[in-house]
Amino acid sequence: MKIDLISKVCSDFEGYEYLIQIFRSAESSRDKTITLIFTKNYWFEANLAAVLGAIVELLEAKGKKVHLYNIHPDVAKVLRKNRFLCDFGHLPLPDTYGTILSYQRFNPVDDDAFMDYIKSELLTKPDFPKHSPALGKKISQSIFELYENARTHGKCKQIHTCGQYYPNKAVPRLDVTIVDMGISIKKNVVDYLKKTLTGGDAIEWAVQYGNTTKTGTISGGLGLDIMFEFVKLNNGKVQIISSDGYWEFRRGETLRTNFRSTFPGTIVNIEFNLNDTTGYYLIEETPEDIRF
Amino acid sequence: MVEAKTILKVSEIIGGDTAVSTDDGQKIFDLLAVSIQEKQAIAADFSGIQIMTTAFLNAAIGQLYSQFTSEELNSYLNLVNINSEDRILFKKVVERAKQYFKDQKSFDNAVNQGLDG
């Protein structure tokens, strides 16, 4: 089966819906070989490599082989820098400007590997764009909360991640995408609440403070809330895609809607505003003593 | 608070300055729970920890409420050298765990009713 990619694939509702459509078409095809033709595509956002990588994993798990054909040099440059294309026989390009969080796959059992990745590609990177230490700590905390959420709720084989700095934008930013192909938020929430919900409504429930589908001896319901509260203060952006649900927070507004088809897992894409000098820890209550 | 004879250095147990995973939190919980169960006062020393998440703290500290009361924890567990900016996380985790374990069943029902409302 040959699939011609459209000219521009961005991290927005249409972009995600398009990628879901590609997956569903390839999945339902009888062909064992899927060729994604990039001839008309001149823009493929770098962080979407995590989504495409997850789709390739799913198709391969169904016995299909995915080929990428005729990639535009500009697109190839970005996807070689973040090493996504190395799995498809391309050589990597050096990350000259230190603006890449490389595309990586993690086994959820190995939590140290992700920690090492964030340390080497985010915290200790010499060319990390200027930001306050408080902001760096909050960003790292949010990413780790999300990753743990994917590990514990998704119960998947691999977690795909990728990221990109945009230091020269009017508002410098960092985009990070985490994709797990396990149990979707919708399934977890619907099973827990025993109610019929749309994907968008299920995500909306999951991001609220105190809401968790955990039932064991470890409480939950804080990780997504803490990430979300920070992104609000940071004036950043969050997109969550899970099953047929799309949920977005941007510029103080929340949007939730549903795709025509379903994504078999969860994508979280966060955009952090790096031009942020908020003294986060001063505006929060800091108790002197911890009382149980 | 009974004076702690044992000091558990968190960074040594988890092997680093990043306390973020549920698995590492479980390691801390296991050690704290044994000590408190035996009514041996213990201090958990968080010096050197740079980044912490609620995922770690839910497992390490919040989970203690599945076995112990607030009185027992206040008597036998002391948390020391926590960065001032991380104290808010502890507070949230402790409040959340109290709520979660107080009556897990009625809490689950309350969540369902909240959704209905």
Q: What is the ipTM of this complex?
A: 0.84
Q: Do B62 and A195 touch (CB under 8 A)?
A: no
Residue in this structure with the two tokens 């390739």, named with its chain if needed = A56
Residue A127 has pLDDT above 60, yes or no: no
Residue B62 has pLDDT above 50, yes or no: yes
- Closest CA in chain B for residue A225: B54
Q: Do B55 and A148 touch (CB under 8 A)?
A: yes
pTM: 0.89
Nearest C-alpha of chain A: how many angstroms from B51?
A: 6
Q: What pLDDT does B117 receive?
A: 43
The span from the CA of A31 to the CA of A1, in Å, is 6
Name the burial class of residue B9, with classes exposed (0-12), middle (13-18) and buried (19+) by CB atoms within 10 angstroms of its CB. Answer: middle
Point out the least confidently predicted range of A136-145, A237-246, B21-30. Answer: A136-145
Provide the residue range defining the domain that includes B15.
6-116
Residue B91 within any structural domain of the chain: yes
Q: Which CATH number does the domain A2-280 belong to among 3.20.20.70, 3.40.50.1820, 3.40.50.720, 3.30.565.10?
A: 3.30.565.10
Q: What is the pLDDT of residues A43-94, one digit of tens each?
A: 999 999 999 999 999 999 999 999 999 999 999 999 999 999 999 999 999 9
> CB contact, 8 Å: A138 with chain B?
no
Q: Do B77 and A292 touch (CB under 8 A)?
A: yes
Nearest C-alpha of chain B: how many angstroms from A17?
A: 28
The domain tally of chain B equals 1
Tokens representing residue B2 in the block: 């009974």
The span from the CA of A231 to the CA of A238, in Å, is 7
Task: Put the strands of the sheet holding A33-37 in their side by side order.
Answer: A2-4, A33-37, A65-69
Residue B1 within any structural domain of the chain: no
Span B24-48, mean pLDDT? 96
Q: Do A215 and B101 touch (CB under 8 A)?
A: no
A287 CB neighbours in chain B (<8 A) are: 87-88, 90-91
Backbone phi and psi for residue A146, each to the nearest 5 degrees, phi listed first: -65, -45
Tokens representing residue A110 in the block: 């190995």
Q: What is the CA A109 to chain-centroid distance, rounded?
A: 19
**DSSP alpha helix (H) spans, chain A:** 13-28, 49-61, 73-81, 111-118, 133-149, 185-193, 199-206, 223-234, 280-283
Q: Tell which wins on pLDDT, B69 or A134.
A: B69
Q: How do the domains of chain A map onto residue ranges?
A: 2-280
Judge contact between A261 and A115, C-beta under 8 A. no
CB count, 10 Å around CB of A277?
8
Three-state DSSP class for residue A148: helix
Q: What is the pLDDT of residues A28-51, one digit of tens each?
A: 999 999 999 999 999 999 999 999
Q: What pLDDT does B107 receive?
A: 52
Q: At what angle do helices B104-116 and B87-102 cross, to 10 degrees?
A: 90
Nearest C-alpha of chain B: how many angstroms from A108?
A: 11
Backbone phi and psi for residue A71, each to the nearest 5 degrees, phi listed first: -80, 130
Q: What is the pLDDT of residues A215-253, one digit of tens each?
A: 788 888 788 888 888 898 889 999 999 999 999 999 889
Residue B17 within any structural domain of the chain: yes
pLDDT band at A268 (very low <50, low <70, confident <90, very high): very high
Residue B106 within any structural domain of the chain: yes
